Amino acid sequence: MGLCCLTCLIACGNEGQDRSPWQLSTDDRLRAILRFGPPDKIESVTGVDTRPIQEGGGEADTFPYEDWHYHHLDGIGEEDIDLEFVDDCLCSDYRLRPTPTNAAIRGEISKEE
């Protein structure tokens, strides 16, 4: 699901229902957009990743993932933040990959507004 589809979830997904956008999806990408707005850059990988020569080159099978880059996130206090969302169930439910930097971000996107 790309950024356009996530935006549609926000705009259209609640039609005729009394649910907040937080209840529309468990997809962490939607929650990140609601909290921080769209990223400055997105790189999507659909399951085959071409590895750089420094990592041995060739292709590697992976779970689908998206790398999101933000130049700045208000309230996080860091610049040039990269978030990796992984669909490890192959069900289009992308979750924020846990890292030390992402701990604060996970807390922010878990809060309901």
Domain ranges of the chain: 22-110
For residue 111, give both structure tokens.
């809060």
The pLDDT tens digits of the residues spanning 68-108 come to 999 988 777 678 888 999 998 888 888 998 877 777 787 77
Please tell me whether the overall predicted TM-score, pTM, comes out greater than 0.75 for this model.
Answer: no
pLDDT grade for 40, boundaries at 50, 70 and 90: very high
| Of 72 and 9, more confident | 72
Name the percent of the chain in helix, strand, coil, to the closest 5: 30, 25, 45
Percent of the chain with pLDDT over 90: 14
pLDDT grade for 1, boundaries at 50, 70 and 90: very low
| Of 49 and 11, more confident | 49
CA distance 76 to 92: 27
